[in-house]
Structure 1
Amino acid sequence: MEIVPRSAPGTVAVAVQEYVDFTDAWLTNRRLSAHTREAYRRDVTSFLAWCAATGIEPLQAKFTHINEYARALEATVDPRSGRPLAPTTVARKLSGLSSWYDFLVKLEAVPSNPVGGADRPSVSRDHSATIGMSPAEVDAMLRAAEADSPRHHAIIALLADLGLRVGEVCRLDLADLGHERGHRTVRFVGKGGKPRRRALAPGTGVALDAYLEHRARLAGVAVEDLTGPVFVTTAGGPVDRNAVFRLVRRLAVKAGIPSAEHLSPHSLRHAFATTARSEGVPLEDVQDAMGHADPRTTRRYDRDRHNLDRDPSYAIWAARARRGTPAEG
């Protein structure tokens, strides 16, 4: 693909349009969810608009230009919070831009990736801005969801009991539900386009069955005759992530959770990881369940990892005691 700038810098709409075909090719080349694809498109479009406004040709951008852009992002106010963009948000935007330039390098449109030498925000792998939930709060939300409707109970159960991402829940199809080796299962495409498979615990399966039976009664058909998305609206369309986001906060208020206005579907994913680890599930099993390539990512989700009750010194001491070796002296 040949990429030749055709317009003079300064006209934002024209300058951005020059790279639409290339950006489409880049996104098509990657296994991404629709949500991630659109987020990456917005990130690149934002950079191209900044280049047009500052008179910088994207194909000639240096790491110093990327640094200027990063500082501009850090000074940008998020309209939702009224505060400057978080370092994690800036880092994510630059990560998408870096992937864009990597594709350009492979096409030999640029000699190197200018984002590689840029000064990116430092993001701690030991911290996440997502507000977590205690096991008791998750239980309270599940009770509130069950009292609300069978559909909402099933959605919250999948988020809480499997730690699924909200997009993964919304994209579930009835054909994804099955049985394998004595387990109720659900298959889905996870982050990065990776096929995933998870087991449904008994309670999760009961919540899902109750919803499907309710949906079938309303439709006047048998459960096995239902088709399409697992979760649909009253109008028959698929439930979207924004609706689930609003649902989580509404149910959190109903459940009396103090941090209700700050919670999101991702809060339940964090709670899943924390509870699994506190119940003794090995880190590698939690990592596999959550679809993380790096165990350090999983550790960020474990909000109880610094609990002194889990200090390895206790396990060492207990093992020594079982061997009959004096603990002191």
Structure 2
Amino acid sequence: MTLVPLAVDVAAPVPAVRAEPLDRLPGTAADDPLLRLAAAWLLAYPTRTATVYRRDLEAWASWCAGLGVHPFAAERHHVDAWVRHLTTTPQERTGRPAAAASVARRLSALSSFYDHGIAAEVLTHSPVASVRRPRVSEESQAVGLTTDQVRALITTATTHSPRSAALVLLLTSVGLRISEALGTDVRDFGHDHGHRVMKVTRKGGRTARAVVPPQAVRALEAYIGERTSGPIFLAADGVSRYPYKSAYEQLDRLCKLAKLPAGVTPHSLRHAWATEADRLRVPLQDIQDGLGHADPRTTRRYIAKRNQNDRSPNYAIAAAFTSDD
């Protein structure tokens, strides 16, 4: 198979690697063992997950390159220094230090990469094995949106274009991940026992059918028109799939037009969906199923604290203790 190069030049000596297990990996002896192990490791993951993990590995390889150390020769103190850098230095995309959840995910990806190398007998140790993982807050760090703010975004998207209207309504009323929405094809939009549904591919490659409410149905039908195949969301050429980066940038422009807070991302809309569902007293199990979460604790992180405060038992308890009755 053809190796996909990492977007970084690791200009550091490659440590000695056992030749026999390396021969079982993709690529040839002329390729950097890092690329060969990365290719073998990423084969086990769905495309979207593999893309994210590749970026995590690239970020780590770039850090190692700056130290003049090949990732195969890295030790725990190199990883500790990287974690400190991530958590204290503003990141290029956000202008803020990386959130604990982002750092934890990157360390999880690295741990998986090195464990794969050990299992393949290419590596003998993992520099991530004993690294302390940041404690992830039970409350999400995503920018929260009120009901009125989501309505303002929908109005702005509807005025902007059919594609923007269809995408924003799908994200806000169905609670999809941006990757799930952009990965849909026209044939995935169908019917199930009287409901309009969208077949989506969840994390881990699982498929699910999500109910699409009438408002989103109308927007999708207006955008799809007479098309019967191909991606639902199209790029500017009218043929290829709408790229994640382009959708992300378009949503950012729409948020500015709608005068929403800075830092809103596609994932913020998924959080808004969960928060609104909780406000409307939708059972946690149904919210969990709607988001496609395996663990209800993950779902609870999506629900903004303001809804939980509204239902705090403290009000009722204080009233009972101080009542004249």
Same fold? TM cut 0.5 = yes
Indicate conservation of the 8 Å contact 1:75/1:84, yes or no: yes
Instruction: Give the corresponding residue for 2:41.
Output: 26
Instruction: Give the corresponding residue for 2:110.
Output: 97
Structure-2 change in CA distance of 1:26 and 1:168 (3 Å): same
Instruction: Give the corresponding residue for 2:161.
Output: 149
Which of 32, 35, 39 does residue 17 from structure 1 map onto? 32
State the AA in 2 paired with 1:202: P
Structure-2 change in CA distance of 1:305 and 1:294 (3 Å): farther
Write out aligned runs for 1:247-258 (5 A): 247-257=250-260
Instruction: Give the corresponding residue for 1:88.
Output: 101
Residue 232 of structure 1 aligns to a residue in which SS?
Answer: coil
Give the Å deviation of 1:38.
2.7
Indicate conservation of the 8 Å contact 1:59/1:109, yes or no: no
State the AA in 2 paired with 1:244: A
Give the Å deviation of 1:90.
2.6
State the AA in 2 paired with 1:185: V
Deviates more, 1:41-50 or 1:195-204: 41-50
1:191 equivalent to 2:194? Answer: no
Instruction: Give the corresponding residue for 1:231.
Output: 233
1:182 equivalent to 2:194? Answer: yes
Give the Å deviation of 1:116.
3.0
How big is the alpha-carbon RMSD for the aligned residues of Structure 1 and Structure 2?
Answer: 3.0
Residue 197 of structure 1 aligns to a residue in which SS?
Answer: strand
Identity %: 38
Structure-2 change in CA distance of 1:42 and 1:202 (3 Å): closer
Indicate conservation of the 8 Å contact 1:161/1:204, yes or no: yes
Give the Å deviation of 1:316.
9.7
User: 2-side partners of 1:54 and 1:84: how far apart?
Assistant: 20
User: 2-side partners of 1:195 and 1:63: how far apart?
Assistant: 38
Instruction: Give the corresponding residue for 1:125.
Output: 138
Indicate conservation of the 8 Å contact 1:87/1:122, yes or no: yes
1:206 equivalent to 2:218? Answer: yes
Structure-2 change in CA distance of 1:139 and 1:101 (3 Å): same
1:269 equivalent to 2:270? Answer: yes
User: 1-side partners of 2:259 and 2:76: how far apart?
Assistant: 49
State the AA in 2 paired with 1:203: Q
Instruction: Give the corresponding residue for 1:6.
Output: none
Give the Å deviation of 1:248.
2.0
1:295 equivalent to 2:296? Answer: yes
User: 1-side partners of 2:12 and 2:73: how far apart?
Assistant: 17
Structure-2 change in CA distance of 1:285 and 1:312 (3 Å): farther
Ranges in structure 1 where 5+ consecutive residues have no aligned partner: 1-9, 217-222, 321-326
Indicate conservation of the 8 Å contact 1:12/1:53, yes or no: no
User: 1-side partners of 2:47 and 2:243: how far apart?
Assistant: 17
Give the Å deviation of 1:313.
6.6
Instruction: Give the corresponding residue for 1:7.
Output: none
Instruction: Give the corresponding residue for 1:219.
Output: none
Indicate conservation of the 8 Å contact 1:32/1:192, yes or no: no
Give the Å deviation of 1:54.
4.0
Which of 120, 123, 130 does residue 107 from structure 1 map onto? 120
Write out aligned runs for 1:164-175 (5 A): 164-175=176-187
State the AA in 1 paired with 2:218: V
Instruction: Give the corresponding residue for 1:279.
Output: 280
Indicate conservation of the 8 Å contact 2:186/2:224, yes or no: no
Indicate conservation of the 8 Å contact 1:159/1:269, yes or no: yes
Task: List structure 1 segments (4+ residues) > 6 angstroms apart after TM superposition.
Answer: 13-16, 313-317
The count of corresponding residues between Structure 1 and Structure 2 is 298
State the AA in 1 paired with 2:179: G
User: 1-side partners of 2:120 and 2:11: how far apart?
Assistant: 26
Structure-2 change in CA distance of 1:92 and 1:207 (3 Å): same
Instruction: Give the corresponding residue for 1:5.
Output: none
User: 2-side partners of 1:107 and 1:61: how far apart?
Assistant: 18
State the AA in 2 paired with 1:67: D
Structure-2 change in CA distance of 1:207 and 1:11 (3 Å): closer
Structure-2 change in CA distance of 1:211 and 1:29 (3 Å): same
Q: Deviations over 1:41-60 (max 9, x none)?
A: 23223334444554656456
Give the Å deviation of 1:276.
0.4
Give the Å deviation of 1:184.
0.9
User: 2-side partners of 1:68 and 1:252: how far apart?
Assistant: 36
1:137 equivalent to 2:149? Answer: yes
Give the Å deviation of 1:328.
8.3
User: 2-side partners of 1:94 and 1:132: how far apart?
Assistant: 26
Deviates more, 1:228-237 or 1:46-55: 46-55
User: 1-side partners of 2:139 and 2:184: how far apart?
Assistant: 31
Structure-2 change in CA distance of 1:19 and 1:289 (3 Å): same
Indicate conservation of the 8 Å contact 1:299/1:305, yes or no: no
